[in-house]
Amino acid sequence: MAQGENKSLRILIVDDEADIAELIRFNLRQAGFRTKVAASGEEAIKEVRLDAPDLIVLDLMLPGIDGLDVCRLLKSDEATAAIPIVMLTARGEEEDVVKGLELGADDYITKPFSPRVLIARIKSVLRRKQKAVQNEAEIVKFKEIYIDPGKRKVSVSGRFVELTYTEFEILNFLIRHPGWVFTRNEIVDNIRGDNYPVTDRSVDVQIVGLRKKLGAASKYIETVRGVGYRMKEVD
């Protein structure tokens, strides 16, 4: 993504530490992005709903509504769910990072951070979003399962199935590659990108939830022992 391509892209920086917010703002502007700053979770939600940005850099440690709750609220709202979120946090605990990513955040950076790394990660997330948008009009059918990526809707034999963000991404990925076997890490890399800190157990938990919601159609998700998962092409 060249610098000239960034000029129309708007990034909301959510951080209550003014010096850090200004550091991020300065570097993003140098990279060609337009920016706005919110100093609290409440202010961030208000700004997003008034004028949705192309991406949000979200600190987790915020006064009032914290970053995890901001992420949860935005990702559970159809009007804002597609906005990419890069979490910025001083927390080193894996539990907090995984929780944010499971809520739908797209990536994370820990403080202290390199502005160059932050910008590179932001550009990577935006590229993934652009690629997803190009494919989102294509409705996918597999057996009795229908996926409408644009509306993020799934139906099985005409019955609407409500999935979490991650469950939807896993199903959409597997269905687009019927018969192919993917390891848990490959599934994560394809739906979240590299360096997503998740364990094998986390992927298994998502698959369990997905199978439960798909009902009889869950038979198409096959566990390949010692490897991972695939969508079976035959019953």
Please give the backbone phi and psi of residue 230, each rounded to the nearest 5 degrees, phi first.
Answer: -155, 165
pTM (2 decimals)? Answer: 0.61
Closest CA to 59 of 74, 47, 48, 69: 69
| Better pLDDT: 220 or 100 | 220
CA dihedral over 34, 40, 43, 47, signed as positive or negative: positive
Domain 3-134 -> CATH class: alpha beta
Give the confidence band of 235 by pLDDT, cuts at 50, 70, 90. Answer: low
Give the confidence band of 136 by pLDDT, cuts at 50, 70, 90. Answer: low
Longest dimension (CA), the chain: 58
C-alpha 156/C-alpha 183 separation (Å) is 25
Q: In what order do the strands lie in the sheet with 107-110?
A: 34-38, 10-14, 55-59, 85-89, 107-110
CATH of 136-231 among 3.40.50.300, 1.10.10.60, 1.10.10.10, 3.40.190.120:
1.10.10.10
Query: Parallel, antiparallel, or unpaired: how do β-strands 10-14 and 34-38 relate?
Result: parallel
User: For the ranges 90-94, 101-105, 115-119, 202-206, which has the lowest average pLDDT?
Assistant: 90-94
Domain ranges of the chain: 3-134, 136-231
pLDDT value of residue 82: 86
Render pLDDT for 160-214 as a digit per residue (tens, 0 to 9). 999 988 888 899 989 988 899 999 888 887 776 555 555 567 788 889 999 999 9
C-alpha 181/C-alpha 173 separation (Å) is 11
Q: Identical fold at 3-134 and 136-231?
A: no
Residues 6+ apart with CB under 8 A from 25: 13, 35, 37
